[in-house]
């Protein structure tokens, strides 16, 4: 009988972990391609804007790994991983997801993003930080957060119904319009989107398994694993989806996914996890919450400069994330 990987020699365990990471990355790429194609086509078919789809459908889907991981961690009494995953993922969403997307292609930012969504994101960060000031996120606080994200989603859908697409169909990526945007193909759009989402979630799970295996072999604490390795792994679907969207010139969806994912992490992921079981944020320090808020404010600043996130600004976000990882990893 084959022994579990935890009983394998060190070198074999590392090789298995690396194999899982590579497989996870491959699944994430394929899933992101399908998700972005399906989401853009669905936006056209349903009369929604790509930004609205990025803020809701794509953000909700790519945040599913965070919700699964944090809920399971809360149920198992691993508060450090549950909260660390959320805080670390939010830092990653600005530093890596938004930063790398801007490095791939400068991202034009819509005024509504700066006027409405970014302030709500910062408010959500402050609200969660205040709830966790005593080191405990209870069920009532979780319910407040969950009600908040339901209201946010309803607001996005309502606003989208009043908007029209800013790009004509023939200006959207040729491959997408040729393959997917057809009269009466809305069910095909949904199938493609769900297939991409399923592959993304599966890829994120495989990637996290490999990353955690390597981190545990290095003797790293639960909180640091949650803040760094797990957060990076569960944010990988967000990164894949936003980068593919940026490369296909769908800046609205790339930015919307990054900001929407932060909102879902702050309110839905923590809300659901806390309703399942109250969470003690053991090992997550005030500095981590401060860095999270700092990154959210940094996102607001780079979006306001000329209404475009330039490559150098994306590089600044990326460098800030790398600095945080270097600072936090030895803890």
CB atoms closer than 10 angstroms to residue 114: 14
- The helix (H) or strand (E) run that includes residue 308 is strand 308-309
> How far is the C-alpha of 322 from the C-alpha of 109, rounded, in Å?
24
**pLDDT higher than 60, residue 140:** yes
Query: 45-66: per-residue pLDDT in tens?
Result: 766 666 676 666 677 776 777 7
Domain spanning 11-163+180-328: which superfamily? NCX, central ion-binding region (1.20.1420.30)
Tell which wins on pLDDT, 66 or 88.
88
Query: What is the CA 86 to chain-centroid distance, rounded?
Result: 9
**Highest mean pLDDT range out of 26-30, 51-55, 189-193?**
189-193
> How far is the C-alpha of 111 from the C-alpha of 131, rounded, in Å?
30
Residues belonging to the chain: 331
Cα–Cα–Cα angle for 176, 181, 183, rounded to 5 degrees: 165
Render 172-220 in DSSP notation, one character per residue: S-HHHHHHT--TT-HHHHHHHHHHHHHHHHHHHHHHHHHHHHHHHHTT-
Query: What is the CA 70 to chain-centroid distance, rounded?
Result: 13
**pLDDT higher than 80, residue 33:** no
pLDDT of residue 283: 81
Contacts of 256 (CB under 8 A, 6+ apart): 50, 51, 52, 53, 54, 55, 58, 59, 113, 117
Residue 42, classified by CB atoms within 10 Å of its CB into exposed (0-12), middle (13-18) or buried (19+), is buried
Please state the φ and ψ torsions of residue 70, each to the nearest 5 degrees.
Answer: -65, -40
What is the percentage of the chain residues whose pLDDT exceeds 70? 80
Give the range among 8-12, 273-277, 317-321 with minimum mean pLDDT. 8-12
- The helix (H) or strand (E) run that includes residue 73 is helix 64-75
In 65-213, beta strands by DSSP E: 107-108, 136-137
Query: 141-180: per-residue pLDDT in tens?
Result: 999 999 999 998 888 777 766 664 444 443 334 443 334 3
pLDDT of residue 174: 40
């Amino acid at each position: 009988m084959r022994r579990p990987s935890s009983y394998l020699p060190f070198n074999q365990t590392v090789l298995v972990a690396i194999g899982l990471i590579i497989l996870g990355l491959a699944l994430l790429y394929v899933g992101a391609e399908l998700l972005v194609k399906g989401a853009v086509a669905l936006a056209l078919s349903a009369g929604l804007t790509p930004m609205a789809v990025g803020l809701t459908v794509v953000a909700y889907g790519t945040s599913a790994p965070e919700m699964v991981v944090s809920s399971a961690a809360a149920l198992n009494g691993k508060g450090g991983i549950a909260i660390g995953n959320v805080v670390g993922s939010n830092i990653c969403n600005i530093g890596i997801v938004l930063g790398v997307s801007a490095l791939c292609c400068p991202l034009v930012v819509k005024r509504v993003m700066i006027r409405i969504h970014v302030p709500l994101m910062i408010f959500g960060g402050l609200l969660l930080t205040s709830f966790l000031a005593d080191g405990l996120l209870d069920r009532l606080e979780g319910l407040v957060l969950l009600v908040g994200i339901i209201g946010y989603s309803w607001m996005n859908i309502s606003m989208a119904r009043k908007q029209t697409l800013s790009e004509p169909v023939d200006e959207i990526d040729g491959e997408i319009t040729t393959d997917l945007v057809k009269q009466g193909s809305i069910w095909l759009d949904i199938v493609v989107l769900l297939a991409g989402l399923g592959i993304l979630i599966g890829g994120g799970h495989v990637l996290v398994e490999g990353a955690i295996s390597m981190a545990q072999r290095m003797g790293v604490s639960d909180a640091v694993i949650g803040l760094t390795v797990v957060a990076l792994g569960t944010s990988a679907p967000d990164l894949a989806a936003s980068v593919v969207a940026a490369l296909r010139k769908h800046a609205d969806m790339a930015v919307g996914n990054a900001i929407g994912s932060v909102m879902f992490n702050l309110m839905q992921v923590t809300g659901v996890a806390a309703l399942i079981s109250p969470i003690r944020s053991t090992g997550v320090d005030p500095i981590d919450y401060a860095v999270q808020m700092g990154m959210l404010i940094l996102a607001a600043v780079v979006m306001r400069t000329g209404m475009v996130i330039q490559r150098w600004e994306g590089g600044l976000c990326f460098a800030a994330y790398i600095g945080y990882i270097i600072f936090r990893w030895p803890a």
